[in-house]
Chain A
Amino acid sequence: MSYEFDWSAVWDPSAWMTAIGVTVAYGVATTVAGLLLGLILGLLLVSRIWIARRAVSLFIGVFRCTPALIQIVWFYYAFPMALNINMPAWLAAGCGLTLYMAAFSAEIFRGGIQSIEKGQWNACRSLCMSHWQTMYHVILPQTFRRMTPAIVNQSIIQFKNTSLLSVVAVHDIMFTASALTSETYRPLEVFTFAALLYIILIWPMASIAHQVERRFDYRSSR
């Protein structure tokens, strides 16, 4: 018996447009916020303040070792309850995912910063540059270049992870696909289409990042 495709089930432009907007918004916002927070945490990880290092390590341990799905659900339901605060639902939903990204990118930045040759620090210190001047002008620019592949990789994972937000009723691509499926009983068409949307959104991002990476490659410019 062969399956008969019925692509008309997919036809709901306005729902998909909204869904794309929501996915892109969450993808960009939680990735950017997560990277910024991750950078700060990464800097704390290599700082000389041991209490900060310990606290950040603990945070990273917790957020790297629990599923993103649990973090999302927990922040959506438990966090506002535990602190007895009124958090807008959209923010609560994004929080878990942002911290998840922050935990992973903090490790990327830490590794990147520590991979820069000791000689760079010596040279800067000998030139009387301060710790933060060295970090800002010399260490971080090299870290970003060196870590671009890892950062892009993590951002792509993050972008796809926004699909998990559908469990807390964020109307993203995944949520819309599920809703359409229960309406039309056409999971194959609907989810294939959803997958295509993710590819169309993420692929260009990845290839742009790859080009940026090549532009950065001053080492092989000899």
Chain B
Amino acid sequence: MSVNFIEVRSLRKTYGTTVAVDDVSLTLEEGRTAAIIGSSGCGKSTFLRCLNLLETPTEGSMRIGGDTVTFANDKMASGEDQALRFRKSMAMVFQSFDLFPHMTALRNVSLAPTIVNGLKREEAEGLALKLLERVDLRHKADAYPGQLSGGQAQRVAIARALAMNPRVLLFDEATSALDPELVGEVLAVIKDLAKEGRTLLVVTHELAFARDVADTLYFFDQGRVLESGKPQELMSNPQTERLRAFLKRFQGPLNS
């Protein structure tokens, strides 16, 4: 019997009267990849941000491994002592890269291991070089973000997230800000991570990618999970009109 590694229950996040995430439950086994799709404004980013505790959920509970945090009335109700470990077990890659523009690629990757995990500078830089190597950017170690292409910047951001040795990686539309010809190189890295047995939660508009890489697909609509299941099944046989309409709009990329 496989135990779910990530377990989110009845997560809700409201901003005033706006319900951004509404009663979302999600489970994921270790080493698996879940993809989240849905049209703009349906709460995908908010969901990931809640999971990473960048936002405080309004209600619900989230567990990663043995660490559980619960929320009520826009506050953490329990799990305060586990919150840091909870947050440390994941790292997020953002649509806008958000590299530190005043630091070299190497320093971007080695900063957090040094000041958060207490690695010595040489150790952290050794680690950073290894990670840059695996995203094929060792030769850009001394470049500043302003000197990198979008695809390269996003790969550095992935290395930066990996440097914290997270058990789960969260991707929030990691390729949406990229020129079409740069999307592939970033998706290839994510694909490799999935193959390697990392646990990934990927918000994406690349349906073909979601179909090929994800083990589970979640379709968000107006803050709720409207459908979930095996990507192929969901895509070839959508149960709701909403998903059918959504897929239709994205048919182009699917067939390519």
Contacts and interface: CB of A to CB of B under 8 A. Distances in A.
B147 A119 contact: no
Contacts of A127: 91, 111-112, 116, 160-161, 164
Contacts of A126: 52, 54, 91-92, 161
Report the contact-size class of chain B (Cβ under 8 Å from the partner). Answer: 20 to 34
10 contacts: A119-B94, A126-B91, A126-B161, A128-B87, A128-B112, A137-B111, A138-B100, A142-B101, A145-B102, A221-B146
A125 interface: yes
Interface string B82-95: 00100110011010
A127 B160 CA distance: 9
A129 B100 contact: no
A94 B116 CA distance: 41
Contact of A221 (B87, B112, B144, B157): B144
Nearest to A144: B102
Contact of A123 (B87, B98, B116): B98
Contacts of B91: 126-127
Contacts of B52: 125-126
Interface string A111-133: 00000010110111111110001
A219 B116 CA distance: 27
B96 interface: yes
Given A122-B94, A126-B54, A128-B84, A219 B112 contact: no
Contacts of B99: 123
A133 B144 contact: no
Contact of A129 (B49, B94, B116): B116
Nearest to A220: B146
A123 B160 CA distance: 10
Contacts of B54: 122, 125-126
Contacts of B157: 123
A48 interface: no
A123 B94 contact: yes
Contacts of B188: none
B77 interface: no
Nearest to B87: A128
A14 to B, nearest CB: 47
A128 B100 contact: no
A4 to B, nearest CB: 58
Contacts of A138: 100
